[in-house]
Every structure is written in C-alpha cells, then in structure tokens.
Amino acid sequence: MNTIEEKLWSYIDGTCTPEDMQNISRLIASDESVRLKYQELLAFDKEFAAMELDEPSMAFTYNVIEAIRTQEAMVPLKTRVNKRIILGIVLFFVVSLTGFLVYALSQMDISSAKVPDIVSKVSVNVKLPQVNTHISKPLVEGFMFFDVVLGLYLFDKYLRRKNAGQLLSKK
C-alpha cells in the first residue's frame, strides 16, 4: 500500500491486517487531515453503496423462459430419445429370437431322418406354388439390373449427404 487514501479505503472495506487497522485508527484519531479524508471517503462509500439497480422490462422473465422453451423444442429428436429405451427394445427382440431359436433347435432330431414330432403332429395341407417355372433368365437379369441401379442411387445419395455435411461444418 502506498498512499494514505489506499490505506483508508482498505480500512473502510476491512481488508487490511489487524495491525494496519490499529495503526490507521491511531492516525485518524491523531491527524486532522487524515480524519477529514477518512470522513470524505466514508461519505463516498455510503453513497456508492446506495446506488440503485436498473430494472429490466416487465416481460423479462417470461422472455427468458420462452427462449429456453424454444431452444428445447429445437433440439433434434434423436438427442431427445432415451438410448436406454432403444437398447431395451433391441434386448427384448434379441432375447425373444434367441429363445425361439433355442426352442426350435431343441425340438429337432438332427441325427435321424425322421420328421420331427412337432411337424408330424400338425396336419399341414398346404400346396406350395411351383416358383421354378416362373423364374426365367430375362427375369433374373432384370432383377439384377434393378438392384444395381438402386444400389448406385443410394450410394449417390449417401455421397451427396456426406459432402453437404462437410460444407456445413466448414462454414
């Protein structure tokens, strides 16, 4: 601390050491000019402490809450969906399918050529269509051509989306 004014401000704020407090108190009591300065600073301190706070507009709180609600509404759906729910659904299907598979395998008698009991017990009277007669070479080629075109279209769409994402991140 250098000046007497600095010392007096610290004294008023109560931020100086107890030893300094005693010294300054003594100085205020003994020195007329220091006492006058102290009284002047004390008056300013009271005035500063009495400063008034500004008031925002009446709708301020409402605007804040609305802004929060708007931002919350703008959050993409995928970030709001609880991942645990998705995992739960996946788990349910995996367990169910595994259960069915295990049950089906346990009912099968792989060693013998016999028809499994479960099948023999159920009287099935279904006539399967003869698909082989309809499958011809041009049909297979047409099907393959359609698959290739669909594959190219989806690949093109994927590349476009990837490029658009890269451009946005650069901006």
Residue numbers at the binding site for another protein (CB under 8 A): 5-6, 9, 15, 44, 47-57, 60-61, 63-65, 67-68, 71
Residue 65 or 144 having the CB closest to another protein: 65
Q: Provide the minimum distance between the beta carbon of 66 and another protein in the complex, in angstroms, as a whole number.
A: 10
Residue 32 or 72 having the CB closest to another protein: 72
Residue 39 or 98 having the CB closest to another protein: 39
Alpha carbons 143 and 148: distance in angstroms, whole number: 9
Alpha carbons 74 and 77: distance in angstroms, whole number: 9
Alpha carbons 35 and 43: distance in angstroms, whole number: 12
**Tokens (6 digits) for 10:** 């610290």
Q: Provide the minimum distance between the beta carbon of 63 and another protein in the complex, in angstroms, as a whole number.
A: 6
Residue in the structure block whose two tokens are 């030893």? 19
Do the beta carbons of residue 10 and residue 20 sit within 8 Å? yes
Q: Provide the minimum distance between the beta carbon of 67 and another protein in the complex, in angstroms, as a whole number.
A: 5
Q: Provide the minimum distance between the beta carbon of 38 and another protein in the complex, in angstroms, as a whole number.
A: 14
Residues 6+ apart with CB under 8 A from 108: 116
Residue 61 or 107 having the CB closest to another protein: 61
